[in-house]
């Protein structure tokens, strides 16, 4: 389709904050801290940072360059460069379609907790069985997910510059400020010092192969790789924006939020649990079951809980906005629909798919697919199968099909690209191995062979 009237970001700041918003999400707030605690604290943090500035930088730059070069969403980007590889654009485009529905369900849970703490119900939220009791109801979770989806829809309907960019410029700085406030409060709690040391000081005796795999998986999913989002946002990026510098800034923002989230969570839970690392290995329940108990044990627990879930809501919204945008622009580009029609129908489809996810904890609790409930099934298909496969094939596509110069020339339109040599080596040899490692480890984890 023609891109003559395609929307665009107003400048570098708009792209950086929007792309950072797509990367900063629920995974930064709860998944990063519990993985850091589980896999050695400081040594996990060190490995994660190394991976972000090498493999992460390479894959984010490659996808963004594909989008800017073609001026199209994922399907159009791949098919315009090679019709035989158009299927790869489909793989990338399917991922946000699968993720958005269950992301909205979790976003609805976040709003529920935000309202609970705002109304002074922190002690209630900290009570045993509160979360289970909430998700076991068939109606409430649907209402909250509908509200979350409506907020997402409102922003995306506003367009790229007046909707996504404008909201990102507001939410991302606010998210960072709120994170710092809670982090400072957390590390100054009695007993938090030991948790802070564990989180910040690398202990190489805790290093293992699984430390690398866990850090690699977190980096991969946190940066929105292989979701079609970076390609879509790249297509909105003006040619004169320094891509190399912009990608570095996106990574800096995303990694900073993850790092600060660790400062918020690890020391506080250490202090609350008396140094029990098992309390941090709670996985998804960390955010909805463990942390409310931690907040309730603090002074001003309702205030801290409210601020925490407000920043989580901002993080969840910026990611869901990116997901809905990636879905909508695919229909807009491929079917020639108007932006409004594409967005409304994409949101309606997300709502339909979100219903069985929300009902999977109550009415459909006995229904499973491949042994997973609906949320875990959607997560497995997108994160464990489609994303690593799409990323691996993207590396092959660029280096073996269209030629790596296709990406290099696009980046060098606006950047001196000082990291061209390392970028080329990583994209040719390192990134494919890493994406395969994620795929195999995620499959083994899903089968219960290993634990991530």
Instruction: Look at residue 428 in the predicted model and tell me its pLDDT.
Output: 97
Give pTM, 2 decimals: 0.90
Q: Report d(CA 444, CA 190) in Å as an integer.
A: 40
Give the rounded distance of the alpha carbon of 329 from its chain centre: 19
Give 185-230 pLDDT, tens digit per residue. Answer: 888 888 888 889 989 999 999 898 889 998 998 888 788 899 999 9
pLDDT at 2 over 60: no
Give 18-72 pLDDT, tens digit per residue. Answer: 877 777 888 888 788 888 888 889 999 999 999 999 999 999 999 999 999 999 9
Nearest in space to 24 (alpha carbons), one of 242, 250, 354, 333: 250
Instruction: Look at residue 452 in the predicted model and tell me its pLDDT.
Output: 63
* Residue carrying the six token digits 């509160």: 130
Q: Report d(CA 76, CA 449) in Å as an integer.
A: 38
Instruction: Give residue limits of the domains in the chain.
Output: 12-446
Give 356-381 pLDDT, tens digit per residue. Answer: 999 999 998 888 888 888 888 998 88
Name beta bridge partners: 171: none
- Given CATH 1.10.8, say whether it is the number of domain 12-446: no
User: In the chain, helix, strand, coil percent, each to 5?
Assistant: 80, 0, 20
**Cβ-Cβ contacts under 8 Å for 259 (sequence gap 6 or more):** 45
């Amino acid at each position: 389709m023609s891109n003559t009237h395609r929307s665009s970001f107003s400048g570098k700041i708009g792209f950086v904050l929007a792309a950072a918003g797509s990367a900063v999400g629920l995974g930064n707030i709860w998944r990063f801290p519990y993985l850091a605690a589980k896999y050695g604290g400081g040594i996990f943090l060190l490995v994660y940072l190394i991976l972000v500035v090498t493999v992460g930088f390479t894959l984010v730059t490659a996808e963004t360059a594909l989008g800017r070069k073609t001026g199209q969403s994922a399907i159009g980007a791949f098919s315009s460069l090679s019709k035989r590889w158009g299927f790869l654009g489909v793989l990338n485009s399917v991922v946000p379609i699968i993720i958005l529905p269950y992301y909205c369900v979790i976003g609805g849970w976040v709003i529920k907790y935000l309202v609970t703490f705002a109304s002074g119900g922190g002690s209630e939220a900290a009570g045993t069985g509160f979360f289970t009791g909430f998700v076991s109801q068939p109606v409430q979770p649907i209402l909250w997910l509908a509200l979350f989806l409506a907020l997402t829809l409102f922003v995306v309907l506003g367009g790229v510059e007046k909707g996504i960019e404008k909201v990102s410029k507001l939410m991302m700085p606010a998210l960072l400020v709120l994170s710092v406030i809670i982090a400072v409060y957390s590390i100054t709690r009695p007993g938090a010092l030991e948790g802070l040391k564990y989180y910040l000081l690398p202990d190489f005796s805790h290093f293992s192969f699984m430390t690398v795999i866990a850090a690699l998986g977190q980096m991969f999913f946190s940066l929105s790789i292989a979701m079609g989002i970076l390609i879509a946002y790249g297509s909105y990026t003006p040619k004169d924006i320094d891509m190399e510098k912009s990608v570095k800034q996106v990574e800096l923002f995303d990694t900073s939020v993850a790092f600060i989230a660790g400062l918020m969570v690890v020391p506080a839970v250490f202090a609350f649990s008396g140094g029990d690392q098992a309390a941090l290995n709670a996985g998804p329940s960390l955010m909805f079951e463990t942390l409310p108990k931690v907040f309730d044990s603090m002074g001003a627990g309702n205030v801290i809980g409210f601020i925490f879930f407000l920043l989580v809501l901002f993080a969840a919204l910026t990611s869901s906005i990116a997901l809905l945008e990636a879905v909508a622009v695919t229909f807009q580009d491929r079917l020639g629909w108007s932006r409004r029609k594409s967005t409304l129908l994409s949101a309606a489809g997300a709502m339909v798919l979100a219903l069985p996810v929300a009902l999977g904890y109550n009415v459909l609790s006995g229904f499973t697919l491949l042994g997973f409930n609906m949320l875990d099934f959607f997560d497995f298909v997108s994160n464990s199968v489609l994303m690593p496969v799409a990323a691996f094939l993207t590396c092959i596509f660029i280096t073996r099909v269209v030629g790596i110069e296709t990406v290099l020339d696009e980046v060098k339109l606006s950047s001196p690209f000082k990291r061209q040599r390392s970028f080329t080596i990583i994209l040719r040899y390192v990134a494919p191995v890493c994406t395969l490692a994620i795929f195999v480890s995620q499959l083994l984890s899903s089968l219960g062979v290993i634990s991530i």
